[in-house]
Amino acid sequence: MSQMYVSLSQQPAPSKWGNNAMLSFISDGAIIHIGEAKQQSDILRLVQKAARKLVGQGISEVQLAGGDWNLELCWAFQQGFYTPKENTAIDFPTLPGNDQQELENRIRVIHWARKLINMGPSKLYPRTLCDTVASFIQELAPEHVTYQVIEGESLLEQQFYGIYEVGRGSQKVPAMLQLDYNPTGNADEPVAAALVGKGITFDSGGYSLKPSSGMVTMKSDMGGAATVSAALALSICRGLHKRVKLFICSAENLVSGNAFKLGDVIEYRNGVSVEILNTDAEGRLVLADGLICASETNAPLIIDAATLTGAAKVAVGRDFNSVLGLDQSLVHQALDAAGNEQEYAWALPLESWHVDALSSAFADIANVHSGDGHPGASTAAAFLSKFVETPEQGWVHFDLSGSYQASANELWAAGAKGHGIRTISYLLTKLP
């Protein structure tokens, strides 16, 4: 199949293509009509929509032609032209300066993350997730990356009780990846940032069983792990020279005679006890172990990311990721980072008193709130705050409301979007 040429124009489309048409066609190509006096975000959104329309018409190979294409326009087109079957191809123009390398880095890293999230749970389970992440990051900087994977009964020996309890109902044993990126070569170099990702490779809900409609997308419940891993990878490609530790907390949440149950109490190694009132609120249970480890690094910045709550999706939809934290300055930095990277993020409320909604008669806290009227995303973040040594300073939580599309829409193919990777990478590359 010959390539279709795609160019940009600020002129409106001829009326025969429809009123305010975004696309028109000539003999050997298509023209995207971006109009005049639009905000950059509107232009990028229009270009991404046009790419989706071309894919929908069965066009699979294009060449971006003309001199109007820049880095962000190329990336917007690529985002819309992507398919989970990876059966499309784009011939990009040569971009000036570092933009060419940045585009190639985004394609390499974010495509990897999208493919990983879209992978079925029979192929991607806790150990393979940890190994795949470690191998990918080590390939980028082999001399600077060391790691270990702790799995199965070894989790108990090292007191990672949350990951173990959530994953013990599956034949695929739970696992934790601990990865150290240290480009300084100094073993005593302080850790500048610690990343924690939720890596639930499949979530049935456990004994709080999900309906089939809610379970069908749960291969994507490791999206937080993929997002922070890819953010670190992209930062390395962008020249990150600070030491960063990565903790991936991975399990399958299944039903069996050995699965954890409602009424169980987990005693974490930081002394906090948790009563299980809902086995479908398992992501926070595994993240707790990772946040304890992150705090032990004494890193001044701790970032966690997770597909954590349906409440966040209800609040902001699937175009935005949610940001929560007790450190309001850091929350605002995260929002600014999203803006600088042409991504969308929105702050949801979090106060220290949100943890009061997690009361338990049998433990320090419960894993879900009780009673009506409590904000689910906020109380989930409040739960996580109990496992950060100084949650009011240097910790921010991303609830990845916008990282996955259950079905295709006018902007995105079905499946993983990679949304949020650039935002977290920006925060890492701006480390002092």
Catalytic annotation, residues: 210, 284
CB neighbours of 136 closer than 8 A, spacing ≥ 6?
112, 229, 233
H or E element: which one contains 45? helix 40-56
Q: Rounded to the nearest 10 degrees, how much is the dihedral formed by the CA atoms of 109, 110, 113, 115? A: -110
Residues 319/343, Cβ–Cβ less than 8 Å: no
Q: Are 196 and 145 in contact, with CB atoms under 8 Å apart?
A: no
Q: What is residue 294's DSSP assignment?
A: H
**Nearest partner of 371 among 387, 384, 354, 385, judged by Cα:** 354
Is-contact 201 125, C-beta < 8 A? yes
Q: Which of 184, 187, 164 is nearest to 174 (CA)?
A: 164
Distance separating alpha carbons of residues 377 and 302, to the nearest angstrom: 19
